[in-house]
Structure 1
Amino acid sequence: MISKSRFIPIDTRGEMTRSSLSSMMRANRKWPISYRSIEAIVICGDLFAILIASIVSTLLFPNHDVSTATDIGRATGSAIVVSALCVSLLKTRSMHTPSALLDLGHQVHAVCLCWAVVFLLLGAAVSAFNLGSELFRSAGAIFPVLGLVMLIGQRVFVRALVLKGLSEGKFSGGNVILLTDQARSGETGLARTLTALGFRVGGSFCLPRTGASSNHRKRLIDLVIRHARGTDIEEVIVEADPNRWHELREFIADLRVLPIPVVFVPVGAGAEMFGRPTRDFRNAIGVEVQRRPLTHGERAAKRCIDVIGAGICLILLTPPLLLIAAAIRLDSAGPVLFRQQRCGFNGRGFTIYKFRTMRVMEDGCSITQAVANDCRVTKVGRWLRRTSVDELPQLLNVLEGSMSLVGPRPHAIAHDTEFDLAVQQYAYRRRVKPGLTGWAQIHGSRGPTPTRALIEQRVTYDLWYIDNWSLQLDLAILLRTPMEVLRSRNAF
């Protein structure tokens, strides 16, 4: 029986038809780009997209005080400045690599963040040097919007292109020799990956086993050299465990007689270190085995949102906050604000501000958590705690920098010590600033934590937030917080 997928139309003389031959040639035709050239192509695409966005926006909103040629010249200058900043930021975050381009969500987040940072920097320059008429007006009013749309649109197109190229083997690549310590060298995962990336594995050999004789290694080297000479082999790829490097160094050194590059691909447990960021310490190289939760740019963006958001909220809420302060003073004796020591970023202590809701002012090594119908809670305080309005003075903590709008909720020092002993990963919460609201709070993890299970649940939510942080996630938490406050789960 002939499979339909392999059936080829032939004419009466038994020859393949011209149409079927043409279709097969088109199916097997490679693209004139290689997998490794995608990064350079996307960088050029970003530069071109920003330039086109600047010119188009200028033509849509021309400056009638100058000629069109002058206007376009200024738009080009603006595009050069913006593209240099934006592409540099994206490049430092390795967002142009093919693997990064496949993660569209991460790409959109990174592009939006870098784009916003660029215009914040340019806005500061405009204010400082009075460059508004020269920089932004020439680029047109819709330049920021159009440029962002074009950058994101390009990434949607490139992602589809990369997926198609990988699935159909469309990328063009050189002819390589593969040396591997796998038992079945021709069927390794790397060989299949190279084929998918457009490379042609012109020869595949097994590396000598540990303890192999020098004659065996010499015969293999001679075989590889004879196979590579006089052919179109462009590269030798060696796939092995890094722990074998001390015995492979001399073996690989013998390949220097070939005028082609030799690439080492690590596998095994030691290969994990090669994928981590490195640090230059002059004569030494350090491997960053644990990164900080947020980069400098991400922390700057989060801080900007904190300052702007907390400042606007305090200005808008000043009248009701004054009324609440008066109600607290009339309801019971004591200060309006409750101050307590809390543990913040990296274990640093800070003083947290809250509206006083109890008749006591506990702070220190022994603090009793509030429970339902707690007799220590005042009449006004009961309403404040149920609506979480008592937490609003922490906007002052956000402005001073000891807290953020979104993050793990800080606990009293006494409870922090207790929870740290009860939950193994509790201290990981201190890798970011504590927050006014958080991922745990919008999932109902509020109020007291009398059991270990409740503490572990809250820590799980907090650690997920730290590992998956993004500006979009912060915004989503802020938008969902009012709904959670209205539900009043576990708030008393």
Structure 2
Amino acid sequence: MRANRKWPISYRSIEAIVVCGDLFAILIASIVSTLLFPNHDVSTATDIGRAIGSAIVVSALCVSLLKTRSMHTPSALLDLGHQVHAVCLCWAVVFLLLGAAVSAFNLGSELFRSAGAIFPVLGLVMLIGQRVFVRALVLKGLSEGKFSGGNVILLTDQARSGETGLARTLTALGFRVGGSFCLPRTGASSNHRKRLIDLVIRHARGTDIEEVIVEADPNRWHELREFIADLRVLPIPVVFVPVGAGAEMFGRPTRDFRNAIGVEVQRRPLTHGERAAKRCIDVIGAGICLILLMPPLLLIAAAIRLDSAGPVLFRQQRCGFNGRGFTIYKFRTMRVMEDGCSITQAVANDCRVTKVGRWLRRTSVDELPQLLNVLEGSMSLVGPRPHAIAHDTEFDLAVQQYAYRRRVKPGLTGWAQIHGSRGPTPTRALIEQRVTYDLWYIDNWSLQLDLAILLRTPMEVLRSRNAF
């Protein structure tokens, strides 16, 4: 039977390989783009030299951004959807920054012009293509045990670690478990610990061991510290792998507080970069919509004034990001202007709704003034819909997780709305359904998801489900 031949790469080296691959892909994309669209005002050598210069700048920025998000690790590379999102976001940020630098300060205009018109597109395609290939490579390597690795000793207090636990994982990653020992039980005698230490040290010195891995419950650290300290006589690294209830804390991001280390047990729903990207889309999208829709908005305002007495815009207090109140703007659709602690939700054939208001509500056109809220920053184009203060208080008491939806800005449209969850919520089941949609959106947010919701919103508006 033919032996399973190992690849000449280790699982740990994948990160460095992908970083080099990113640099090479951007360089090739820049040169190919330049050759396809040459600058006839300069020589070919000068043109290619500038293309290489632009590739160096772009690759340094892009790879640095991806590194800060830990997107080159093997485990991160397996999540292709997350990879595509991160690469697209970082790539867009790089060219926005470079475009701003060129336009504002005229920095490197000739340099980036030589990179060719299709460089941004070709570079993005090559970066994503590399990740598709590497993901397939990693999956094959893990499933067939192709990665190369060193000899390790495994010390564990887990009864089943031999066949189904860490030992099997280490084998899949290419490591050879040259020895496996059970850690002494809690309260074991010092003689027992010393015999085990001597056995491990003799085994490590008698074979080509490159690493000692200790797998144990972190709650035992106070007694394992002395045991592990005795391994310092070996000139090899000792790695602690936590298991059990306390292990999850080790995977959390940490903060340096000078003489103390903090563990982040809850992260922001959106990182600073994600919030900045979402805000850019909000400002650009809302600004363009207001400019394009200005003529029909003025006609609607005139129709409201002619139809019934009262102001054109309806203002109401809503609960927004982090529970902060803000004033929401809508076209007035009713003869009443309810606000405060007692508000009656609209129902089918509501006599309070004006003639023009009935059409505005059915088509959701009454919500368009909220583009002003988006521009001022109290709302986003996409997010959980804000409710009146009176209803917010009621829903807070009815649904335990209702307040979680305030971790992001409220939106003009949302995941719940494109699934038909809009209009009045007379029952607890309807409220819970809407909250479930909103929390799913927060947990799975991405720029692609926002764009998909924006594209599907007009179709949902045309269906007029639950719009009274």
State TM-score, norm by structure 1: 0.94
Asked if structure 2 preserves the Cα contact closer than 8 Å seen for 1:406 and 1:434, the reply is yes
Q: Deviations over 1:78-114 (max 9, x none)?
A: 0111111110111111110000101111111110111
Instruction: Give the Cα–Cα distance (whole angstroms) in 2 for the partners of residues 185 and 421 of structure 1.
Output: 46
Comparing 360-369 with 239-248, greater Cα deviation is found at: 360-369
Specify whether residues 480 and 463 from structure 1 end up closer, same or farther in structure 2 by C-alpha distance, changes over 3 A only: same
TM-superposed CA distance for 1:136, in Å, is 2.2
Instruction: Give the Cα–Cα distance (whole angstroms) in 2 for the partners of residues 313 and 184 of structure 1.
Output: 61
User: Displaced runs of 4+ in structure 1, greater than 6 A?
Assistant: none
Matched, 1:183 2:183: no
Instruction: Give the Cα–Cα distance (whole angstroms) in 2 for the partners of residues 39 and 458 of structure 1.
Output: 41
The DSSP-based 3-state class of the residue aligned with 1:26 is: coil
The DSSP-based 3-state class of the residue aligned with 2:87 is: helix
Specify whether residues 192 and 346 from structure 1 end up closer, same or farther in structure 2 by C-alpha distance, changes over 3 A only: same
TM-superposed CA distance for 1:187, in Å, is 2.4
Q: Deviations over 1:401-429 (max 9, x none)?
A: 11000000000111111111111000001
Instruction: Give the Cα–Cα distance (whole angstroms) in 2 for the partners of residues 27 and 295 of structure 1.
Output: 47
Specify whether residues 377 and 184 from structure 1 end up closer, same or farther in structure 2 by C-alpha distance, changes over 3 A only: closer
Find 2:398's aligned residue among 419, 422, 436: 422
Instruction: Give the Cα–Cα distance (whole angstroms) in 2 for the partners of residues 267 and 182 of structure 1.
Output: 9
TM-superposed CA distance for 1:131, in Å, is 3.4
TM-superposed CA distance for 1:184, in Å, is 4.5
TM-superposed CA distance for 1:135, in Å, is 3.1
Asked if structure 2 preserves the Cα contact closer than 8 Å seen for 1:185 and 1:206, the reply is no
Instruction: Give the Cα–Cα distance (whole angstroms) in 2 for the partners of residues 461 and 74 of structure 1.
Output: 49
Asked if structure 1 preserves the Cα contact closer than 8 Å seen for 2:197 and 2:230, the reply is yes
Structure-2 residue corresponding to 1:8? none
Asked if structure 2 preserves the Cα contact closer than 8 Å seen for 1:179 and 1:185, the reply is no
Asked if structure 1 preserves the Cα contact closer than 8 Å seen for 2:157 and 2:183, the reply is yes
TM-superposed CA distance for 1:27, in Å, is 4.5
The DSSP-based 3-state class of the residue aligned with 2:342 is: coil
Instruction: Give the Cα–Cα distance (whole angstroms) in 2 for the partners of residues 152 and 367 of structure 1.
Output: 51
Asked if structure 2 preserves the Cα contact closer than 8 Å seen for 1:185 and 1:204, the reply is no
Matches within 5 A, 1:62-461: 62-131=38-107, 133-461=109-437
Instruction: Give the Cα–Cα distance (whole angstroms) in 2 for the partners of residues 320 and 241 of structure 1.
Output: 66
Asked if structure 2 preserves the Cα contact closer than 8 Å seen for 1:35 and 1:171, the reply is yes
Q: Deviations over 1:328-348 (max 9, x none)?
A: 000000000000011111111
Instruction: Give the Cα–Cα distance (whole angstroms) in 2 for the partners of residues 100 and 47 of structure 1.
Output: 18
Specify whether residues 184 and 443 from structure 1 end up closer, same or farther in structure 2 by C-alpha distance, changes over 3 A only: closer
Asked if structure 2 preserves the Cα contact closer than 8 Å seen for 1:354 and 1:391, the reply is yes
Instruction: Give the Cα–Cα distance (whole angstroms) in 2 for the partners of residues 145 and 453 of structure 1.
Output: 46
Instruction: Give the Cα–Cα distance (whole angstroms) in 1 for the partners of residues 49 and 324 of structure 2.
Output: 52
Asked if structure 2 preserves the Cα contact closer than 8 Å seen for 1:338 and 1:354, the reply is yes
Instruction: Give the Cα–Cα distance (whole angstroms) in 2 for the partners of residues 48 and 26 of structure 1.
Output: 35
Comparing 360-369 with 172-181, greater Cα deviation is found at: 360-369
Quote the RMSD (CA, aligned, Å). Answer: 1.0
Instruction: Give the Cα–Cα distance (whole angstroms) in 1 for the partners of residues 150 and 332 of structure 2.
Output: 72
Give the number of the structure whose alpha-carbon radius of gyration is greater.
1
Asked if structure 1 preserves the Cα contact closer than 8 Å seen for 2:102 and 2:108, the reply is yes
State TM-score, norm by structure 2: 0.99
Q: Deviations over 1:248-294 (max 9, x none)?
A: 00000000111111000000000001111111111111111111010
TM-superposed CA distance for 1:185, in Å, is 4.8
- Give structure 1 stretches of 5+ with no counterpart: 1-24
Aligned length: 468
Instruction: Give the Cα–Cα distance (whole angstroms) in 1 for the partners of residues 466 and 184 of structure 2.
Output: 65
Instruction: Give the Cα–Cα distance (whole angstroms) in 2 for the partners of residues 128 and 50 of structure 1.
Output: 25
